Structure 1
Amino acid sequence: MAVRIRLKRLGAKKAPFYRIVVADSRTSRNGKSIEEIGYYDPTKEPIVLKVDAEAANKWIANGAQPSETAKALLKKAGVIGE
């Protein structure tokens, strides 16, 4: 099973709110997820970004691959380096 860390879109039309989730790569974008590890709200000023660093590092150590957007958000939150 290929596991990915990616965003799940919630919120109303033109008012997005995202959850950072760990999910099987074969599920749909808003489908069932394994675990929720944070959230991201780009509509607030300044943006709201909260990530459970311990859970994210655990999943990355176990082989979960973050999507490009999730990787950028994890870097911004200081969870991963590079």
Structure 2
Amino acid sequence: MLTLRLNRQGTKDRPFYKIVAVDSRKRRDGRYIEQIGSYNPMEDGVNFTLDVEKADNWISKGAQPSDTVRDIIKKARKAAMQAEA
């Protein structure tokens, strides 16, 4: 089964994450299929980038987003809606 989840990067006490599509049986920081965004919890304000079209494409193929990635997708959609208005 495919999943959309965070792949930890960075150093000790300075993490940042790639948002990736990966086989759910792979380890957290293992090999992934495609990177669809990034997330930096150390920044204030908008601390993520996400290609919503790619995320929707993976979800339509059956990928399950993790809880954190699901929240980031919601925030990205909300930001896109406000940018259009």
Determine the structure 1 residue equivalent to 2:15.
16
Q: Which runs of 5+ in 2 are unaligned?
A: 79-85
Residue 9 of structure 1: how far off its partner (Å): 0.4
Determine the structure 2 residue equivalent to 1:4.
3
TM-score (norm 1): 0.89
Determine the structure 1 residue equivalent to 2:34.
35
* Structure 2 counterpart SS, 1:78: helix
How much identity, in percent, do the aligned residues show?
45
Determine the structure 2 residue equivalent to 1:54.
53
More helix by share: 2
TM-score (norm 2): 0.86
Determine the structure 2 residue equivalent to 1:75.
74
Aligned partner letter, 2:24: S
Number of residue pairs matched by the alignment: 78
> Runs of at least 4 residues of structure 1 off by over 3 A?
none
Tell me if the contact between 1:5 and 1:64 (Cα under 8 Å) persists in the aligned partners: yes
Deviations 1:28-56 (A, max 9, x none): 00000000000011112224210011111
RMSD over aligned Cα, in angstroms?
1.2
- Paired with 1:5 and 1:45, the residues of 2 have a C-alpha distance of 23
